[in-house]
Structure 1
Amino acid sequence: MRYFMFVTSDESAWANSTPQYKEEIFGKYMAFTMEMQNAGVLLAVESLQPSSKGSRVQVRNGERTVVDGPWGEPSAVGGYYLIRVDSKDEALAWAAKCPGASYGTMEVREVSEFGK
């Protein structure tokens, strides 16, 4: 089974963190990512730019609306992991090991097959 693990946290807290703290967290993420890679469960991982560099798109009655970020929400998705594991419990165990779980929230969702 494939699972997406979204890392969400307070963007302003990260932006206001010291360079030393950011370097420490980055090192923890690198170690965690290598652990997943060595275990053979990692399919993809990416970090995202802050919401201030993003846009939201909606189409209503054929009209497109684009709103550039940030959107005022305290938490935003900062990155994701796509993994292949045997169970939801295993996915939750990996999420609990992620550095993001110690300062933010890990959202775990099973990936559905397209069209099902």
Structure 2
Amino acid sequence: MKFLMTLYADEAKGAAIPAAEMAKYMEQMYAYRDALIKAGVFVQTNGLAPSTTACTVSTEGGQIRVHDGPYADTREQAGGYFIIDAKDPDDARLWATRCPAATWGIVELRQIVEHHSP
């Protein structure tokens, strides 16, 4: 079962962290990724560009609408993700609780529903 773990944190607070301290946080994230790989559940991970570079796209009445910035005004912004292949939802939750990002932000866990073409 594949799961998406979206990592949320306050971008402004993150930008204020000194480089040496941020390097320590990133070491924790790399160690977490290595643990996922060793356990055989790792699929993919990446960071995301700041939310200020985001846009939303919708169609209404046949008109395409593109708006700069994230859709919702929130305290936390999506900053990265992991995709894991866990044996069941409980296993995925366990991996989410081990993610270092859960100590300074929120980790949203959602099962990926895979659709296959007929």
Distance 1:3 1:91 in 2: 7
Q: CA deviation at 1:76?
A: 1.0
Tell me the residue number matched to 1:87.
Answer: 88
Tell me the residue number matched to 2:23.
Answer: 23
Q: CA deviation at 1:73?
A: 2.3
Q: Determine if contact 1:56/1:66 at 8 Å carries over to the other structure.
A: yes
% identical aligned pairs? 29
Q: Determine if contact 1:12/1:74 at 8 Å carries over to the other structure.
A: no
Per-residue displacement from partner, 1:31-78 (whole Å, max 9, x unpaired)? 100110111100111110110111111111111111112564221111
TM-score (norm 1): 0.92
Q: Runs (4+) of structure 1 moved beyond 6 Å?
A: none
Tell me the residue number matched to 2:9.
Answer: 9
How large is the RMSD of aligned CA atoms in angstroms? 1.3
Q: Which amino acid aligns with 2:48?
A: L
> Secondary structure of 2:26's match?
helix
Q: Which amino acid aligns with 1:88?
A: P
TM-score (norm 2): 0.91
Distance 1:68 1:20 in 2: 32
Q: Which runs of 5+ in 2 are unaligned?
A: none
Tell me the residue number matched to 1:62.
Answer: 62
